[in-house]
């Protein structure tokens, strides 16, 4: 504790245990929502990777239209990979926040 601070029992001037529990539940809901979204993005990413594999093979033996299509499909794959990474980063941040709150409850 800092200099001059008086430790008060829960419910007296501090954040109540009930409020911490509510925040933890909200964080868990957000984490679960992100995990559901991640499942959908992984499925889309797999689909786009498959299309991209075909487009890259066609571009290797095809014409400029095939190469243009391959560039577009590769961009789709990169976009879904970035979306998946961003979701993972967001989930990680929320999990760290939740774990910090959990440690406050357990102290």
Most confident listed range (10-24, 28-42, 59-73):
28-42
- With respect to residue 5, please indicate whether it lies within any of the assigned structural domains: no
Asked if residue 54 has pLDDT above 70, the reply is: yes
Work out the average pLDDT over 47-73: 94
Asked if residue 5 has pLDDT above 80, the reply is: no
- With respect to residue 12, please indicate whether it lies within any of the assigned structural domains: no
- With respect to residue 33, please indicate whether it lies within any of the assigned structural domains: yes
CATH number reported for the structural domain that contains residue 53 in this entry: 1.10.287
- With respect to residue 10, please indicate whether it lies within any of the assigned structural domains: no
Domain coverage including residue 60: 17-106
Which pLDDT does position 15 carry in this prediction? Answer: 64
Number of domains in the chain: 1
- With respect to residue 95, please indicate whether it lies within any of the assigned structural domains: yes
| 3-state secondary structure string across 23-35 | HHHHHHHHHHHHH
Reference 99, options 20, 12, 19, 10; nearest CA is 20
Residue 25 neighbours by CB distance under 10 Å: 11
Confidence of residue 87 (pLDDT cuts 50, 70, 90): very high
Higher pLDDT, 16 or 55: 55
Tokens standing for 99? 């774990």
- With respect to residue 97, please indicate whether it lies within any of the assigned structural domains: yes
Q: What is the pTM of this model?
A: 0.78
């Amino acid at each position: 504790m800092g200099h001059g601070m008086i430790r008060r029992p829960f419910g007296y001037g501090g954040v109540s245990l009930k409020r911490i529990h509510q925040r933890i539940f909200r964080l868990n809901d957000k984490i679960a929502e992100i995990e559901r979204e991640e499942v959908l993005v992984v499925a889309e990413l797999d689909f786009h990777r498959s299309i991209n594999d075909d487009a890259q093979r066609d571009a290797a033996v095809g014409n400029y239209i095939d190469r243009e299509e391959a560039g577009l499909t590769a961009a789709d794959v990169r976009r879904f990979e970035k979306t998946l990474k961003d979701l993972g980063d967001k989930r990680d941040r929320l999990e760290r926040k939740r774990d910090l709150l959990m440690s406050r409850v357990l102290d």
